[in-house]
Amino acid sequence: MFEVVAFWRKAPAKAAAFSLIVAALPGLLICGLQTASAAPNWTLDPSASVLTYQSVKKNTIVETNKIRNITGTLSSAGDAKISFDLNSVDTGVDLRNVRMRFLFFETFNYPTAEVTAKVNPAAFADLATKRRVKTTLPFRLNLHGLGKDLEASVVVTMIGDTQVSVASEAPVAVHVEDFGLLPNIDKLQQAANVTNIVPTASVSFDFVFAAEGSKPVAVQTVAAGAVGPVATDAAKANFSDEECLNRFAVLSRTGAIYFRSASARLDAKSRPLLTEVVGVVGKCPSLKVEVSGYTDSDGSPEANKLLSERRAQAVADALVVDGVPRNQISAAGYGEERPVAANDTPKNKALNRRIEFSTSKLGN
């Protein structure tokens, strides 16, 4: 049971929440339920655990979201770890889910986040008697390829002799700049055409851990269907037309396809996103995808058009090599046409140098 406070960095906030839980569980389970010598290992129960966060945009508009697929363990030695699948972001709207995954979390490079903690069992020595303990716990959050040591206040409650709840006493704030995510706020704002996304995350949670080998006990958390694992894109055989359009539109905004300066040679850093595109094309069998290349306005229009054509073709060829049917891919270059920003600053010029993906019905 928990309530989230407004935040923006969904990822950081979630991670923070996870960390709290992880940190609290180990000590609690180890010392509170049994003697140290007989302490069991513990596993997070995803069907009874909840992580909710809220995003704030335009200063006042709040959206409540979740991370649905969570796993975690607590060793008898006090080592805690919680992992969450960033591809299971649940905003209630598919397009928002995809924006959060590809533009903010960049799941094609960083699909998971992790919280680890080393807990001192002595901090929970009275848990079996008190049944409820409040404490401040340190943890390490690894998100978006970066790690940071943090701490949070948690409430640890014995649900039974084999189950423990670790919940946030107050929302946990995480600063997105600590994880290199500030530039991705700009991407979200541009994609959703919104302003003033708050660059701090605030999360609430209630994580339930069960002793190894024990039978789960029914725990009242939130309404049925609002908690527990959810199927991600990887589990789907095919996408609907709307889902296909959402994914190609957002993949076009990632800016994660790279070329050497004035060259059509793909950089190795492009590989993760290309792999993501291959997966999406494979689940949109009725659609043909055009790879479109664009440049900034530096140089002559003729040279820019040729460079954009070569870059688009290089991407199309790479997708075919990776298994996309040739008849499902085409390439076109538009040079400096259709700029998405004025060609007046290095940042804006970089936005105009891009690869986009558009779709049409196969056979048209």
The answer regarding whether domain 6-233 maps to CATH 2.40.128.110 reads yes
> What sign for the dihedral angle of Cα 193, 13, 177, 111?
negative
The yes-or-no verdict on residue 24 having pLDDT over 90 is: no
> How is 125-188 classified by DSSP, letter by letter?
TTHHHHSEEEEEEEEEEEETTEEEEEEEEEEEEEEETTEEEEEESSPEEEEGGGGT-HHHHHHH
Q: Kindly report, residue by residue over 169-203, the tens digit of the pLDDT.
A: 988 888 899 999 999 999 999 999 998 998 888 88
Whole-structure pTM value: 0.86
> Which DSSP string do the residues of 47-84 spell out, in sequence order?
TT-EEEEEEEETTTEEEEEEE--EEEEE-TTSEEEEEE
Domain boundaries, given as residue ranges, for the chain: 6-233, 236-361
pLDDT for the residue numbered 364: 66
Digit-coded pLDDT (tens) for 69-118: 999 998 888 899 999 999 999 999 999 999 999 999 999 999 999 999 98
The CATH fold assigned to 236-361 is 60s Ribosomal Protein L30; Chain: A; (3.30.1330)
Question: Given this model, what pLDDT does residue 1 score?
Answer: 31
With 90 as the cut, is the pLDDT of residue 217 above it?
no
Report residue 223's pLDDT band, with 50, 70 and 90 as the boundaries: low
Per-chain mean pLDDT for the chain: 86
Across residues 7-13, what is the average pLDDT? 39
